[in-house]
Each structure stands twice: as C-alpha cells, then as structure tokens.
C-alpha cells in the first residue's frame, strides 16, 4: 500500500497539543519485559509501526501482548529464546535491543541482522564488545547474530557512545548478580528511562544520566508498571512547524531537561518561546519570532540530537543569512537536503557531514520523499510553510516514529490529508 500526505501550505499553526510517548524509550522498555516472568504494564505507549513490529517479535517468542488506548500489557511466563527470522527484524533496527535481555535470561540469542532506515553504515561492534565483556561467546556469521554463554557481572568499556549498545548492556547487567560498570555509556533520555525501569524491577543503578553506569543486578527481577516519557523528538518537530508557519502553539507534557540543547538552539535563532514548569508546557510563538542563521553541530546527549537536525534544517531555509550544519553521527543524514532543494531551498552540501543553508528562501510545493523517519517529518514541515501543494511520499517511514502526526497537525489548523492507494 502506498501512503502519502498531501499538504496545502501557508497556514499558521495555532492551538494546544499533547505530545505522545517516546518511541526511542518504548522499544527498549518493551524489550526489558523479557527480563522477568509475569506481566509488565507500560502506559503512554505511542501507536507506531515499530512498536507493533516489536510486539509481534515478542509474540513469536511466546509472549502474550495487548495494546489498548496507550497501554501495553506483556506476559512473558512462556517466553523462550529461539532464532528470530529476517521477516521479523529486517525492517526494525530497534530489534537489536533484544540481544541483551534474551542472552541474559536464556543463555542464548540468535536473530537475523536488524534492518531499518538508510542512514549510512551503523555497525554493531559496540553490542558485540559489550556482550563479550560479560562473557558471551560470539558465534555470529554473515547473515545471523548468535551469542551464547552464561554471563557474569563485570566491567564493560564500550568502544563508542552507542545508545542501543548501552541499553543492551544495562538490560543484561540487571539480571546478573554482582556489580557491572559500564564506561562510555550513552546518556540520552531514553537510556535514563531504561535505568529507572531497571530500578523499579529491583536492580540497583547508579550514575543515571552520566557516562559511567553501575548496576547491581539480581536474577529474580519483578515485572513493573511503568509510564513511557513524552517524545522530545516530536516536541521539537512540532515546535519547528510553529516557527516556520509563524504560528503559536502550546505543547503539553514536555520534559524540559530533555530539550535543553534544542531550546538553546531556538534562542540563538531568535525564536520566542517559554516553558511553564508547573504545567510542563512549552509555548512557541512563531508569529513574533524573526529567524536568524546559526551553526548546529550534532552530538551525544546532552548535545544537540541528530534526530532534530532535519526539522531544524527546514527552519534554516527561512532564516536571514547563512546557517551551518555539522552532522557528526550519520553520513547518510543529509539526503533530505536534496529534497529541500527541489522545493527551492538554497543549499550547499560540502560533504557527507557538512552543509550550508542560505536563507531566507520561499519554498514551493513539490512531490518529495521521506528518506527516513526524521527526514520524513522534515518534509512535512517544509510542506506546511511552502507555497502551494506538497505531496510527501513513503509516509510509512513517518508512521514508524510519529504517533498520528497528521491528526495532531490538523488539530492545529494544518491542511494535511492522508492518502492511501493500493
């Protein structure tokens, strides 16, 4: 089925919207349910293709799952570790987070190599290094990841600040008696949330939010009830949509600590915004903002998140001057800039990691593609501020990462229509 968005640009977004739960937090927390035997309950879960795909994998492994009105229930009493075929993992890169919990609980894990968005090479050496340092035997070959062995608590030094490798190490360590120290750990908000869930399951965790995490695990973790935090990537995308359409919106259920680098970037760009701490509401006033050029360099948390660079790249096309992009993490992240050029943006791509965006330019409606999840939402934002009609193709990418995005935008006044053809 071909799914597209048709957007009529030029409407200033106005109103209030409540942000959905974070996909990047939901996937490892769902995987963590494998660490216990019983029922795990997760609330505020976003209704996304990736979430449903991961639940299907858990069902293949023997779990019973249900998903109703934002609540996921996972019963893992009858789960077993068995080879997971490519049909389940080829379109879900996030399935890599099954390695740690399955190996720690059952002593063996085997799965086809995960797939996902095309963002350039995303190696798994950090995962292999983490599991080996806990005592796993690596029996993988060209088409299959395969680890086995009785893991033991110890010290892990990751070769890079990998989010998913950190999550695999945390989950594996939580089930092992004794203390495990993880150095070079990622500190992103979803990693912090996983640590908090491990605590609620009975493990002791120190160093949450730092690059050194210590975990005292136990082999009889309890099954928790846990709430998925709001998605700071959705917050950022909607904030940028308000900026470029000269709208005014209030975003509810916003964690300020997750947004600091992004909000600092908005301040440098001349965006008028206000955070109401008591109500956890972010107000963005694009109507009175005058966008200035800036330089953005992505980095590990608490640096500027790579997944918010494509939306901000659209805002740069409306800023008065030359903005500079430096993408440190993925060599394939720049593809969306070619789509923006189709719409009239003035962009100079210097190499696979750096580009100049010269503004302001009037964007014109065109047919553009979603090259990946975050590029897709950037194209939607571009369509919202462009003259005329924009068609965004490959919406399946967007629906992997954003919960009912078109409905939320319509509630703010956007003229956006979802078109499905066989």
Candidate list 117, 195, 223, 385, residue with the active-site label? 117
Backbone angles phi, psi at 282, to 5 degrees: -105, 120
* C-alpha dihedral (189, 192, 194, 195), degrees to nearest 10: 180
With H, G, I as helix, E, B as strand and everything else as coil, classify residue 308.
helix
Angstrom distances, CA of residue 310 to CA of 177, 187, 357, 413: 43, 22, 12, 23
Query: In the 8-state DSSP scheme, what is residue 36?
Result: S
The two three-digit tokens of residue 287, written as one number: 């109507």
- For residue 315, give the nearest of 332, 297, 294, 335 by alpha carbon: 294
Judged by phi (left if over 0) then psi (alpha if -120 to 50, else beta), residue 321 lies in left
Judge residue 121's burial from the number of C-beta atoms within 10 Å of its C-beta, 0-12 exposed, 13-18 middle, 19 or more buried.
exposed
Q: Is the peptide bond before 302 cis (omega within 30 degrees of 0)?
A: yes
The two three-digit tokens of residue 60, written as one number: 């293949």
DSSP notation for 381-398: HHHHHSBSEEEEE-HHHH
Residue 90 and residue 114 in contact, taking contact as beta carbons nearer than 8 Å: yes
| Residue 36 annotated to the active site | no
Residues acting as catalytic residues = 117
């Amino acid at each position: 089925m071909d799914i597209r968005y048709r957007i009529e640009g030029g409407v200033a977004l106005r109103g209030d919207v409540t942000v959905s739960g974070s996909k990047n937090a939901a996937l490892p927390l769902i995987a963590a349910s494998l660490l216990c035997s019983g029922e795990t309950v997760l609330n505020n879960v976003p209704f996304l293709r990736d979430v449903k795909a991961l639940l299907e994998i858990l069902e293949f492994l023997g779990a019973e799952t249900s998903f109703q009105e934002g609540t996921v229930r996972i019963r893992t009493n009858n789960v077993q570790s068995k080879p997971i075929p490519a049909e389940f993992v080829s379109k879900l890169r996030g399935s890599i987070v099954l390695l740690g919990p399955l190996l720690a609980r059952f002593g063996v894990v085997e799965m086809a190599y995960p797939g996902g968005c095309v963002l350039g090479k995303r190696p798994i050496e950090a995962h292999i290094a983490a599991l080996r340092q806990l005592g796993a035997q690596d029996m993988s070959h060209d088409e299959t990841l395969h680890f086995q062995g009785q893991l033991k608590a110890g010290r892990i030094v990751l070769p890079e600040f990998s989010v998913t490798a950190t999550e695999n190490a945390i989950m594996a360590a939580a089930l092992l008696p004794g203390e495990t120290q993880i150095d070079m750990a990622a500190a992103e908000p979803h990693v912090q949330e996983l640590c908090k869930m491990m605590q609620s399951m009975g493990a002791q965790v120190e160093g949450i939010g730092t690059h050194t995490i210590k975990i005292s695990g136990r082999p009889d973790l309890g099954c928790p009830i846990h709430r998925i935090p709001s998605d700071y990537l959705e917050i950022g995308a909607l904030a940028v949509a308000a900026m470029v359409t000269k709208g005014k919106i209030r975003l509810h259920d916003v964690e300020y600590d997750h947004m600091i680098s992004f909000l600092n970037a908005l301040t440098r760009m001349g965006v008028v915004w206000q955070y109401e701490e008591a109500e956890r509401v972010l107000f963005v006033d694009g109507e009175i903002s005058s966008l200035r050029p800036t330089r953005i360099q992505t980095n590990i948390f608490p640096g500027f998140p790579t997944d918010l660079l494509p939306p901000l790249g659209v805002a740069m096309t409306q800023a008065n001057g030359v903005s500079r992009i430096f993408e440190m993490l993925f060599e394939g992240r720049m593809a969306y800039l070619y789509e923006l050029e189709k719409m009239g943006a003035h962009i100079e791509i210097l190499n696979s990691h750096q580009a100049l965006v010269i503004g302001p330019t009037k964007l014109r409606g065109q047919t553009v593609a979603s090259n990946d999840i975050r590029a897709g939402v950037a194209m939607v934002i571009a369509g919202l501020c462009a003259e005329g009609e924009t068609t965004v193709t490959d919406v399946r990418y967007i629906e992997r990462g954003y919960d009912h995005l078109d409905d939320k935008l319509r509630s703010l006044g956007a003229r956006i229509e979802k078109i499905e053809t066989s």
